[in-house]
Each structure stands twice: as structure tokens, then as C-alpha cells.
Chains A and B, each alone.
Chain A
């Protein structure tokens, strides 16, 4: 039986056991629906049981996997298998040793150390595995957007894909939804103009963007970033701490000995080398007096956002403008 399974497990959605491992929900859902689609294609009458996390009770698995009177195919999806209790894990393991013929079992698992025994057992039994690792890199998100459009039979320009990712944000589900919406609403090649017609603005901006712009003296851009950051829910305290870090880095690098080796400097100031280069760029135009006033403004803003003032947004704007304008005084 084992070798039969192993042979079938290559990349066949109809493999008796499919293991969907990883935290990226969109990909998990896609993997699950790929299996159900494949089964449906073969047998439109197939019985599909998608068990929500916690829905599997002891004893249920035997009942579900026992042959039915009509002999139709069955898909059983066990969600969040990492949360299963010991009894259920043992039942599943027993089943993995002797899978039923007409049943396709799909197990979704976060992939962490929790519930690892089941994962190992399934792998050992030769289950087909689909990896759904978290998508963290911007490049991967771009790739996903492009794939989405390709699957929909559309082509997209590089700039358009980038604009879409910037506007929609990092949530893959939202990105995929945006792609299918665009594909349905428009014709022809999807370019930046089309994306801009449907999606404008920025979904995500961090407190560090604000701080970087501010210490570089670009007041208008810094304020714009600040507004975006606040409206997408960045906490005001994060902005003050980023601003403080920005000014602090400049002050500390400014006070460091001139001829020090970059490696030593990085270690002494506790910054990675790339950061050091960046701060060196930002340092231009700063005077000691400016640093003093900037840091004091940030300290005031920090007190204000922590309950000392009535309007955190105003306090932050004031601090950002001060930091951005005192550098040349």
C-alpha cells in the first residue's frame, strides 16, 4: 500500500493524502480547491466535506472514510490540523497507514513545531505536499500579481503590477481579489493608467518612512507620509520613536570620530553598515543646534501622544515639520 501511495504522490491532486503546509491562507485555499476541483472533474457527484477548525470529533474520521452505499468519491478536508488533540492525531495516523480507496484526504497545517508529529507521520506515509510559505518579499508579491493576470489570460506591465502592490498592500487575498476585479473590469493590456483609475494612494507606509523623509528635510513629503501612516493605523508612538531614532542616529554619527573604520563604527553605534551609509547621507545639512531643537521637539511630541496633549496628530505634524526645517538653522 505504501509504495502505491508513494508512486501516486508525485503531483497528482488526486493523491490519497494531500498535506497543505504553511501559513499563507490564500495559497492554502487555492491548494484545497485545486484538489476538490480535480475530484469534481472526475466525479461530479463527489461528496466534499470541508471540516472547519475544531469540527473534527473523535470517531468522526472512521465514519467519514467508511465506504458509502453508492460508492461515490469523497474529499475530506481537515483544517488547522496543528490544533488537533492527541486522540484525533492518533486516529489520523492510523488512517494514514491504511487509506481508503475512494477517499481523498486533505490536511492543512501551519507547519510550525506545534502538532509536528502528525506532519512527520504524513510525510513518512508519502503524502503529497503543497508548500504555502508566507509571502514576505515585495518581489514575490509582484510575481503573484503577474501570475494572477496570466492565469486570467491577461498581460500586465511591470509598473502596473508595482503600482497595484503599493496601493493594495501586503495582504495576498486582497491582492488576488484586486487582480481578478481588474481583469474582469478592463480590456487589453493592464498598464499603470488602468491601475491608477481603480486604485490610488498607498495602503501601507511605516513610521520609518515618515522619519526618513523628515530628517532628510523633505517636509511636504514627510507630512504626506505621516497622513498616510496615521490613516492606515500606524500608532502615533511608533512615529515618535522612529523620529527619535532618526535624529539620534544623526547625532551619534555626527559625534563619532571622523576617521573610524566603517566596521568599527557600525559596531560602536549599533547600526548595520547599510544603515550607516544611509544616515551619512541624511546627515548633510544638520547642525548641532538643529539636532538639539529637533530632539527636543520629538521629546515634546512623545509626551503629547502619550496623553500629555489633546491631539496626537497635531503633535506629530508639529514635530515632523520642526525636524524637517531645523536642519539648516
Chain B
């Protein structure tokens, strides 16, 4: 076992990071040349390709203290103290930052900059992994610039974003770029079987249906509800008979996303609120809070509300991605392309939609779904955006 095991189908990237980790050892030993190691990295790749996994694995390799190293072994053994704590997120010198909110603001970023100026407690590297670099606000990005350009000697920044364009140009130019590709379906299925013990049939279904997105494939393979939700979404293209049913279908889609999001957040919210109330000294559940603490509770509520918005958008976005995959299959059938369908299990409806329209219609429909995703990202009321999309899907 090594730290790279969880990185699926990214051989080129693994080779690059491995040699950088070897170079990093040289730097620690006081060698002149850095041998492929540098202080700032930008990991990009489509969702589910394992950006954060790659960054964590690299962090682990940098912190590896395996005894084999002195015998000529490669850093990143996966079972020494350094590797293990880095991967589980408890290493003192590895800071993993991600957000549940819509953006990362200036205030949080200033803390990171302060942290980046510290020397590593373990004497190796101070690693800061910023998982959602695409969610940095412009102001927050600017706060980072100086710290990324000339960090303390042993500080390493690892930023993750879906594409290079998601990072500010000024940040981009200060980082070494690591591009991950969409992992091949077979590799994802193989990983699901190997790591999560999922049976081969389910693994290959989940891997194909999610088009190489590892996180979603795992969720689909392990969660019955995710599968039934997906089936509902894939049924939508056949429900677009008249205007009324389009509107109803749009409403259902948005409601389902809201219900999913609520389920995810409600439990979390209740626990956080209760913990905060206890910390503030409210006497028992539903007891009175001491005066002057209402503001703190309010702040938590605001944060929870922002998280709920984000979660709802994410859920809706997933549904729209599934819908895109459906029309991709329709296009595949219409063009007679010799590639497997993402959604083999709904082939009858794919065929029906394919017969009813032309490839041009399908392309317009895919465009409409993408436009809807963009609109939701730009804060358009979700119901309105989805309704407009459903009506366009119907018209073709």
C-alpha cells in the first residue's frame, strides 16, 4: 500500500508528484537543486477526478517518515506516522481547508496567511491544502497572493479547483499546475470493488452512470436513495408533454433537491445548535439562553442558512448533471456512435427521445441544461431557471 492508492487512473500525475516528493526530501537534506519541488501547486480536474485526494496524497508523501527512506525507499509509504496522520487529517503540519458555504471570504483567508508564516512543528513541511480554491472571493484571492508568491521556506500551498480558469490569473501564475484527467470508467469500477467491496455489477453500473466521477459513483453504489433519485431525474424527459406538466416536473425537481438538502443539513444544524447552546450555558433543551448571547446563535443560524443554500444548489446541480448525461446518451444513439451509454438501464426512453428529435434538437437541449446550471450559479431563482429549462427541453 502507498499514499497514491486512492488516486484512480492518474498515472502521469502520480509520477510527477512522486518525483517532486523525492526532490522535497533533497531540499530537507540541504541539497541545492529542488528537483521538481516547489512551494505552490494548483490541482485541477473535473469533479470527482480526485483533486483533493491527489493533494492529500502529495501532502502525505511530503510528511512521510518511513524507515525505508534511508534504505532508498520512495516517500509516501502509506503506513508510517507521517503518511497516516496526513491522510486522516490529523497531522499537525497539514491544514486542509474546505468550505460548506458558497464562498471563502477575506477573513478566513487572513487566518490561512498567518498560518502559512509558521514553521512546521514536525520540522518537515507546513502544508496548506485549499480544497475549494474556486470558491475564493476575488478579495480573498488577493489576500493570498503575497503569501503564495513568497511563503516561508518550508511552507507548501496546494490549491484545488475544477479548472485553471477558476483561479485568479495572478494566483495561477504563482502555482505549478497539476492537471488530473477524468478517470477511465474501468479504473473507477475497479477502485469501487477494491476499496469499498462493492460487487462488480453494481460497481460497473455506478462508474458508467456517473461518467468517471469517483465520489458520485461511490454514493450511487452505496446509497439506495441516490439511485432512486437518479431514476426519477432520468424519467423527467418523458414527462414534458404539455406546459402544465413541464411546470409540475420543474417543481418536483426543485422540491426533491430541497428535500435532499434539508435531510443533509437538518441533522447537522440541530447538532451544531445544541452544542452551541450547551457551550453558552443554556439550561437544557429549549432552556433560556443567557442574555447577550443571542447574537452568537444568530450568527450560527446565518451560517447554517448559507450552507443550506449551497447544499440545495449542489443537489440540484447533481440532478442537472444526470439529465445532461441522459441527453448525451440520446445524442449517442442519434449519431450511432460506437460508445457505451451512460444510462444503459433506461435505454427504452433514450431510444424514444432519440427517435422523436434530431441531433440538433438534442444539442439545443443540452445547451439549455447547461444554461440552467449557469443561471442557478448566477443566483437566478432555482424554480424559475428550472422551469425555463423544462420548457426549452419540451420545445427542443
User: What are the 9 tightest A-B residue pairs by CB atom distance, in nearest-first order?
Assistant: A255-B244, A299-B388, A306-B379, A292-B391, A302-B380, A244-B384, A288-B243, A303-B380, A296-B388
> How far, in whole Å, are A241 and B382 apart by their CA atoms in the complex?
11
Tell me if A254 and B379 are in contact (CB < 8 A). Answer: no
Contact with A along B368-396 (1 / 0, CB 8 A): 00000001001111011101100110110
Tell me if B247 and A255 are in contact (CB < 8 A). Answer: yes
Choose from B242, B244, B375, B388 the contact partner of A295 (Cβ within 8 Å).
B388
CB contacts (< 8 Å) of A244 on chain B: these are 381, 383-384, 387
> How far, in whole Å, are A295 and B250 apart by their CA atoms in the complex?
13
Q: Within residues 337 to 396 of chain B, which ones have a CB less than 8 A from any CB in chain A?
A: 375, 378-381, 383-385, 387-388, 391-392, 394-395
Interface residues on B, range: 20 to 34
> How far, in whole Å, are A302 and B382 apart by their CA atoms in the complex?
11
A250 — nearest CB in chain B belongs to which residue? Answer: B243
B248 at the interface (CB under 8 A from A): yes
Interface pairs (16), CB distance under 8 Å: A244-B381, A244-B384, A248-B384, A251-B243, A251-B244, A255-B242, A255-B246, A255-B248, A292-B392, A295-B384, A295-B387, A296-B388, A302-B385, A303-B378, A303-B380, A308-B378
Tell me if B384 and A306 are in contact (CB < 8 A). Answer: no
> How far, in whole Å, are A291 and B387 apart by their CA atoms in the complex?
11
Contact with A along B217-237 (1 / 0, CB 8 A): 000000000000000000000
> How far, in whole Å, are A307 and B394 apart by their CA atoms in the complex?
28
> How far, in whole Å, are A248 and B394 apart by their CA atoms in the complex?
16
B250 — nearest CB in chain A belongs to which residue? Answer: A248
Choose from B248, B379, B380, B391 the contact partner of A252 (Cβ within 8 Å).
B248
CB contacts (< 8 Å) of A308 on chain B: these are 378
CB distance from B247 to the nearest CB of A (A): 5
CB contacts (< 8 Å) of B99 on chain A: these are none
B302 at the interface (CB under 8 A from A): no
Tell me if B242 and A288 are in contact (CB < 8 A). Answer: yes
CB distance from B250 to the nearest CB of A (A): 9
Contact with A along B69-113 (1 / 0, CB 8 A): 000000000000000000000000000000000000000000000
Contact with A along B230-260 (1 / 0, CB 8 A): 0000000000001111111000000000000
CB contacts (< 8 Å) of A34 on chain B: these are none
CB distance from A306 to the nearest CB of B (A): 4
> How far, in whole Å, are A308 and B379 apart by their CA atoms in the complex?
9
Contact with B along A287-306 (1 / 0, CB 8 A): 01001100110110011001
> How far, in whole Å, are A307 and B392 apart by their CA atoms in the complex?
23
Q: Which residues of A contact B (CB under 8 A)?
A: 240-241, 244, 248, 251-252, 254-256, 288, 291-292, 295-296, 298-299, 302-303, 306-308
> How far, in whole Å, are A163 and B248 apart by their CA atoms in the complex?
42
CB distance from B396 to the nearest CB of A (A): 11
CB contacts (< 8 Å) of B384 on chain A: these are 240-241, 244, 248, 295, 298-299, 302
Q: Which residues of B contact A (CB under 8 A)?
A: 242-248, 375, 378-381, 383-385, 387-388, 391-392, 394-395
Tell me if A291 and B380 are in contact (CB < 8 A). Answer: no
Tell me if B243 and A255 are in contact (CB < 8 A). Answer: yes
Tell me if B248 and A303 are in contact (CB < 8 A). Answer: no
Chain A residues touching B, majority SS: helix
Tell me if B247 and A251 are in contact (CB < 8 A). Answer: yes
CB contacts (< 8 Å) of A306 on chain B: these are 378-380
CB distance from B375 to the nearest CB of A (A): 5
Tell me if B378 and A307 are in contact (CB < 8 A). Answer: yes
> How far, in whole Å, are A295 and B378 apart by their CA atoms in the complex?
17
Tell me if A296 and B243 are in contact (CB < 8 A). Answer: no
Tell me if B381 and A254 are in contact (CB < 8 A). Answer: no
Tell me if A254 and B391 are in contact (CB < 8 A). Answer: no
CB contacts (< 8 Å) of A251 on chain B: these are 243-244, 246-247, 387
CB contacts (< 8 Å) of A240 on chain B: these are 381, 384
> How far, in whole Å, are A255 and B387 apart by their CA atoms in the complex?
14
Choose from B244, B379, B380 the contact partner of A256 (Cβ within 8 Å).
B244
The answer to whether A292 and B243 touch (CB under 8 A), given A252-B248, A298-B384, A299-B385, is: yes
The answer to whether A254 and B380 touch (CB under 8 A), given A248-B387, A303-B375, is: no
CB distance from A87 to the nearest CB of B (A): 14
CB contacts (< 8 Å) of A288 on chain B: these are 242-243
CB contacts (< 8 Å) of A296 on chain B: these are 388, 391-392
CB contacts (< 8 Å) of B247 on chain A: these are 248, 251-252, 255
CB distance from B372 to the nearest CB of A (A): 9
CB contacts (< 8 Å) of A248 on chain B: these are 247, 383-384, 387
> How far, in whole Å, are A136 and B189 apart by their CA atoms in the complex?
64
Tell me if B375 and A299 are in contact (CB < 8 A). Answer: yes
The answer to whether A307 and B391 touch (CB under 8 A), given A252-B248, A299-B384, is: no
CB contacts (< 8 Å) of B242 on chain A: these are 255, 288
B242 — nearest CB in chain A belongs to which residue? Answer: A255
> How far, in whole Å, are A321 and B391 apart by their CA atoms in the complex?
20
Tell me if A295 and B381 are in contact (CB < 8 A). Answer: no
CB contacts (< 8 Å) of A252 on chain B: these are 244, 247-248
Tell me if B379 and A307 are in contact (CB < 8 A). Answer: yes
> How far, in whole Å, are A240 and B243 apart by their CA atoms in the complex?
20
> How far, in whole Å, are A148 and B170 apart by their CA atoms in the complex?
66
CB distance from B234 to the nearest CB of A (A): 22
> How far, in whole Å, are A296 and B390 apart by their CA atoms in the complex?
10
> How far, in whole Å, are A308 and B385 apart by their CA atoms in the complex?
14
Among A248, A295, A302, A308, the one with the most B-chain Cβ atoms within 10 Å of its Cβ is A295
> How far, in whole Å, are A206 and B322 apart by their CA atoms in the complex?
39
CB distance from B389 to the nearest CB of A (A): 9
CB distance from B252 to the nearest CB of A (A): 13
> How far, in whole Å, are A307 and B375 apart by their CA atoms in the complex?
11
> How far, in whole Å, are A295 and B385 apart by their CA atoms in the complex?
9
CB contacts (< 8 Å) of B375 on chain A: these are 299, 302-303
Choose from A241, A255, A256 the contact partner of B381 (Cβ within 8 Å).
A241
CB distance from A94 to the nearest CB of B (A): 24
A243 — nearest CB in chain B belongs to which residue? Answer: B384
CB contacts (< 8 Å) of A256 on chain B: these are 244
CB contacts (< 8 Å) of A298 on chain B: these are 384, 388
CB contacts (< 8 Å) of B379 on chain A: these are 303, 306-307
> How far, in whole Å, are A288 and B387 apart by their CA atoms in the complex?
13
> How far, in whole Å, are A292 and B248 apart by their CA atoms in the complex?
14
The answer to whether A295 and B245 touch (CB under 8 A), given A303-B378, A306-B379, A307-B378, is: no
Tell me if B388 and A255 are in contact (CB < 8 A). Answer: no
Tell me if B388 and A291 are in contact (CB < 8 A). Answer: no
